[in-house]
Structure 1
Amino acid sequence: MTHAQERSRPYGSSDELAARFRSTRSLSEALVEPLSDADATIQSMEDASPAKWHLAHTTWFWETFLLRESVADYRLFDERWPFVHNSYYETEGERIARFSRGMLSRPSLDEVVAYRAHVNEAMEDLIDDSRHADLIALGIAHEQQHQELLLTDIKHALHQNPLGPAMWERVESASGETRPADGWYGHPGGIARVGHQESGFAFDNEGPAHRVLLEPFALSQRLVTNGEWDEFMADGGYERATLWLSDGWAWIKDNAVTAPLYWREGEQFTHSGWQERDPHAPVTHISYFEADAFASWAGHRLPTEFEWEAIARGQEGEDAAHDPTAGNQLDHAAPPLPTGEGSLFGDCWQFTRSGYLPYPRFQPAAGAVGEYNGKFMSGQFVLKGASCATARGHSRASYRNFFYPHQRWQFTGLRLAKDV
């Protein structure tokens, strides 16, 4: 391998890539250790999936796109399972309906763990082969996304239980210890280059890099807090139609929305059960509609994705290329909890006012993996940053998360912007 090839590898050396593969696979299984088979089977809504389905689907990914294609004598662990563990890859054929994943009492959680062990062993013959480096990096990032989904999906499922069950023991919030200043990051505007520009891994929707024109603006140095959201609610924020987009007003009326998800009087539901709500912690589990209404109430607005990225590039430290999201994100099995330390990365995904659309000259990858991002570029909004449930090193300034405007079961929040 030449030095140029070595530098272009998504995680550096083959040893680093192999280590990231193994640690990612291990973390997924550590996350479900507190769960019973019943916990891991339930599906609380169509947007969510059972925990054991996430474990199996991320294993199906490796089996389908690497082992099946690259190992001549590889045999599927179970020839029936691709039908139930495919997600949305039309080119991979028929699959179980998404809303029916919670009906899969079989395979059991133990059987899924055995499936993972089978695939992990087979992958050992591939993870040191530079020919597969790009696809392995994609698979790692894919599994990291599902680790976050696993956490947010099981939180939603446990919240449905009137007993308020805890997945982990309670962890005290540290938000009061490191409360950020009430300042703004100013930007003079001008031509900015956005999109992925480094040599490491990125999803296809982060490119191609291109130029945009920014008007002068400022971005808040901190996230909106629970205490500020209480003020919004006390001032009739959910009752004043003039603050809301038309679709948002219809949504809160149709769904009787009067507060962020997981809120009740003075408390919020967490992976550690019901806890007293910290007024200094960032508000989370809000929709785009709610974020936009709050920004209107506060006399400001949501940033565009390019404004956020322009500021974030200036906030990345010297080791950003190695781990741009070093902070309080997921790196071990523990309850994710926003702290409000002020970083642009790590507490919650931040809504922008930008629609999720392709960049100029965007082309999806060839083959089935081309269905990964491009097919969803319709009707959704871009979120930037990372959340307390995001794996370390997963996000970066150019990263584009995306959700529909009504969705709020993820750790979603907001950072205000203003024109200057």
Structure 2
Amino acid sequence: MQLKENYKKIRTATVDFCNHLEIEDFAIQVVKFASPAKWHLAHTTWFFETFILKEIDKNYKEFDANFNYLFNSYYNNVGTRILQNNRGNMSRPSTNTVFEYRAYVDSKMLAVMDSITNQKIIDLIVLGLQHEQQHQELLVTDVKYMLGHNPLLPSFQENYNLVADKNAVNTSVKIDAGVYTIGHQEKGFCYDNELGVHKVYVADFEIDNYLVTNKEYIEFIEDGGYTNFNLWLDEGWSWIQNEHIKAPLYWHNIDKQWQYYTLAGLQKIDLDAILCHISYFEANAFATWKNKRLPTEFEWEIASKKLNWGLRWEWTNSAYLPYPNFVTANGAVGEYNGKFMSNKMVLRGASTATSANHSRHTYRNFFSATDRWQFTGIRLVK
């Protein structure tokens, strides 16, 4: 059964990544938005226990009844939960107990998967696996944030850089004005926020088939990019002033030489490598400086089949809003995407931290305009 094999493969990949951590790393939460590795391991397990095992077996025995409170993320329909910023306060349950929890749930899941015929349950298992892949990427970004703010700037794994990629081309793609169809239309999984296929009109535009490099962004910095308020949206200008932002996340100017923290440790910045860890406000200011702009998410999707993409999550100039006829599902599953459609910007593509087979050209990622810990980059339009 392919679903069963996918389950084993995806669940194993999460653990394989964590095998490179020290035991002291598992419980640390540096900031509210970056969850501990131990919590990710338990939360993804809780998803299968809560939405699959307890659903198909009313006599199912929970591994620990407290885990619903500890490892629920934001599903109000499922019950109360700890505050997000308290995820790092849990020295107990131990990391070993969390791995035992994973083994317990995996054994139960594998025992029942061959006999499941209910399509609703099968769809929930697929959603759970997609959900785990999202958390695999969050594990990468959260671990990088943790180690990147450790005074020693330790290496996670030798050669595990993830920001060394370079552009394959330096051309652009012209798209003619017209009416185009937007939204997920192919077979296979998609999230509910990709549904609501509809038509949009776009004017002529030309979009770069490459992403902004570190060299280009250093030119922006040296030209006073962070000191010229004319380049910035008002909220972005207030943000960089209040937070003293002067460069991308993980960048350090040491003895007049730019260096950045990678998961392979602190390294001299590769000027030709693709820029990473940029907020929407920084991306928009850079676009203004270049006398260009960011694409809308519709322009990006229309052009995507002609573009090289997948190395960075790419900021668009579109607010995260529902497509026409978007319907929020009943119950806890309906809390997955819809309730976040406020004060977020859409990113398209994927990144070097994205799990295999977890990207498509209709995928709508979304983050706040100040978020930088994801593997984000810039593609421009004129």
Change (3 A) 1:173 1:363: closer
Structure 2 distance, partners of 1:259, 1:127, is: 49
Structure 2 distance, partners of 1:56, 1:174, is: 28
1:27 aligns with 2:16: no
Deviation per residue, 1:135-154 (Å, 9 max, x gap): 11110110000001011011
Change (3 A) 1:171 1:104: closer
Q: Counterpart of 2:130?
A: 141
Q: Counterpart of 1:269?
A: 261
Structure 2 distance, partners of 1:86, 1:72, is: 19
**In the alignment, residue 284 of structure 1 is paired with which amino acid?**
C
Structure 1 distance, partners of 2:306, 2:213, is: 24
Structure 2 distance, partners of 1:125, 1:377, is: 38
Does the CA-based 8 Å contact 2:160-2:263 persist in structure 1? no
Structure 1 distance, partners of 2:98, 2:163, is: 36
1:375 aligns with 2:342: no
Deviation at 1:39, TM superposition (A): 0.4
1:111 is matched with which residue: 90, 93, 97?
A: 97
Deviation at 1:41, TM superposition (A): 0.5
Deviation at 1:109, TM superposition (A): 1.3
Deviation at 1:37, TM superposition (A): 2.3
2:318 is matched with which residue: 339, 345, 354?
A: 354
Does the CA-based 8 Å contact 1:384-1:401 persist in structure 2? yes
Structure 2 distance, partners of 1:59, 1:175, is: 32
Secondary structure of the residue aligned to 2:111 is: coil
1:95 is matched with which residue: 77, 81, 86?
A: 81
Root mean square deviation of aligned Cα: 1.4
Does the CA-based 8 Å contact 2:280-2:371 persist in structure 1? yes
Write out aligned runs for 1:283-302 (5 A): 283-302=275-294
Does the CA-based 8 Å contact 2:260-2:267 persist in structure 1? yes
**In the alignment, residue 96 of structure 1 is paired with which amino acid?**
I
Write out aligned runs for 1:46-195 (5 A): 46-128=32-114, 129-131=116-118, 132-171=121-160, 179-195=167-183
Q: Counterpart of 2:25?
A: 39
Structure 2 distance, partners of 1:130, 1:251, is: 51
TM-score w.r.t. the length of structure 1 is 0.87
- The runs of 5 or more residues in structure 2 that have no matched partner are none
Structure 2 distance, partners of 1:236, 1:254, is: 17
1:217 aligns with 2:205: yes
TM-score w.r.t. the length of structure 2 is 0.95
Change (3 A) 1:127 1:214: farther
Secondary structure of the residue aligned to 2:266 is: strand
Secondary structure of the residue aligned to 2:26 is: helix
Q: Counterpart of 1:388?
A: 352
Deviation at 1:92, TM superposition (A): 1.1
**In the alignment, residue 150 of structure 1 is paired with which amino acid?**
L
Secondary structure of the residue aligned to 2:113 is: coil
Structure 1 distance, partners of 2:79, 2:353, is: 31
1:309 aligns with 2:301: yes
Structure 2 distance, partners of 1:179, 1:195, is: 27
Q: After the TM superposition, which parts of structure 1 deviate over 4 Å for at least 4 consecutive aligned residues?
A: 171-176
Structure 1 distance, partners of 2:372, 2:117, is: 39
Structure 1 distance, partners of 2:51, 2:306, is: 37
Deviation at 1:107, TM superposition (A): 1.2
Structure 1 distance, partners of 2:206, 2:306, is: 13
Does the CA-based 8 Å contact 1:127-1:136 persist in structure 2? no
Residues matched between the structures, number? 375
Secondary structure of the residue aligned to 1:125 is: helix
Does the CA-based 8 Å contact 2:177-2:201 persist in structure 1? yes
Change (3 A) 1:270 1:175: closer
Secondary structure of the residue aligned to 1:383 is: strand
Does the CA-based 8 Å contact 1:260-1:286 persist in structure 2? yes
Structure 1 distance, partners of 2:112, 2:368, is: 37
**In the alignment, residue 66 of structure 1 is paired with which amino acid?**
I
Secondary structure of the residue aligned to 1:389 is: coil
Give % identity: 47
- The runs of 5 or more residues in structure 1 that have no matched partner are 1-14, 316-342
Larger CA deviation: 251-260 vs 266-275: 266-275
Deviation per residue, 1:224-270 (Å, 9 max, x gap): 01110010001000010000000000000000000000001221111
Does the CA-based 8 Å contact 2:167-2:274 persist in structure 1? no
Q: Counterpart of 2:309?
A: 344
Does the CA-based 8 Å contact 1:351-1:381 persist in structure 2? yes
